[in-house]
Amino acid sequence: MYDEKNLIYIMTMLECTEKVWIYSGKYTTASDFIWADEQQPLNGVISLFIAIGEESKKIDKNLKKDILTQMDWMSVAGIRDKISHDYRGIDEAILWNTIKKELVVLKNALVEMVDLINPSKEILNGFLESPYYRHLGYLR
């Protein structure tokens, strides 16, 4: 029903989501995260959010409409624009809330999309065998 080309965008967003949690996981506060290690974890997460926002713009609009999980796709794409154009204007509390609470909603929506696409085992395994998508074994 949905074109499997959407998988590349969805899988990339899922992997980015997992890496955001890996990069931020050892910190307990927004400030600790923001200022850790010369801001290396922050800069990694910012790059991942840019990728998430960019890839979200490429997913079929009908697929976005047909998922049950409520997602504000404009906000997903908008975070990319905000970060890309106003790096110093990032609100650490909003970023931390997004990491700790909002990303799980995005992940659930993306997993639901994979289910709706219902890719062949061959295609799905092709993604999951790639080292790039090594954190997505839960899709098997």
Non-local (6+) Cβ contacts of 111 within 8 A are 14, 138, 139
Q: In the chain, how many domains are there?
A: 1
In a domain, 61, yes or no: yes
In a domain, 46, yes or no: yes
* Beta carbons of 47 and 55 less than 8 angstroms apart: no
How far apart CA 52 and CA 110 sit, in angstroms, is: 11
Range in 46-50, 92-96, 98-102 with the lowest mean pLDDT: 92-96
* Beta carbons of 119 and 4 less than 8 angstroms apart: yes
Non-local (6+) Cβ contacts of 10 within 8 A are 55, 59, 110, 113, 114, 117
Cβ atoms within 10 Å, residue 114: 19
The CA–CA distances, whole Å, from 43 to 35, 90, 124, 127 equal 10, 12, 30, 26
In a domain, 1, yes or no: no
Maximum separation of any 2 CA atoms in the chain, in Å = 47
pLDDT in tens, 1-18: 799 999 999 999 999 999
The range of the structural domain enclosing residue 39 comes to: 6-139
Catalytic residues: 80, 85
In a domain, 133, yes or no: yes
Non-local (6+) Cβ contacts of 135 within 8 A are 15, 18, 19, 22
In a domain, 62, yes or no: yes
Average pLDDT over residues 107-134: 96
In a domain, 47, yes or no: yes
pLDDT in tens, 22-81: 999 999 999 999 999 999 999 999 999 999 999 999 999 999 999 988 899 999 988 877
pTM, two decimal places: 0.93
